[in-house]
Amino acid sequence: MNQRVFKALADPTRRAILKRLRSGSCTAGELGTLFPIRGASLSYHFNILKGAELVRTERRGMHIVYSLNTTVMEEVATVLMEMFGQSTDEGES
């Protein structure tokens, strides 16, 4: 889990994308219909999510399918828990 994860989670549109992906993989176009921004802007957000390894992509014919990388999300939650749950004096990755 890298530094970029926190930046990626800071934007509400990106969190909404992640939330949507939770209920199943989705093409870029489908996601585009859910938000009031242009495809190019979505693409910008996808790149940030990919950089944080929060999503994965796979081309399927004419479409590109996005899916959630739940592993990294769980890591984030775990790290936060370790950092702030109780003082074990450790917790940085």
Beta-carbon neighbour count of residue 35 at 10 Å?
15
85 binds, among its own copies, DNA, none (CB under 5 to 8 A by kind): its own copies
Q: Among 2, 15, 30, 47, which residue interacts with its own copies (rule: CB under 8 A)?
A: 15
CA–CA separation, 50 and 55 (whole Å):
5
Task: Kindly identify the residues of this chain, within the stretch 8-47, that bind DNA according to CB under 7 A.
Answer: 10-11, 13, 27-30, 32, 36-47
In 1-93, where do the E strands start and end? Answer: 26-27, 55-60, 63-68
6 binds, among DNA, its own copies, none (CB under 5 to 8 A by kind): its own copies
CA–CA separation, 11 and 26 (whole Å):
20
92 binds, among DNA, its own copies, none (CB under 5 to 8 A by kind): its own copies
Task: Kindly identify the residues of this chain, within the stretch 61-80, that bind its own copies according to CB under 8 A.
Answer: 68, 70, 73-74, 76-78, 80
Look at residues 21, 27, 30, 32 and name the one whose alpha carbon lies nearest to residue 73: 21
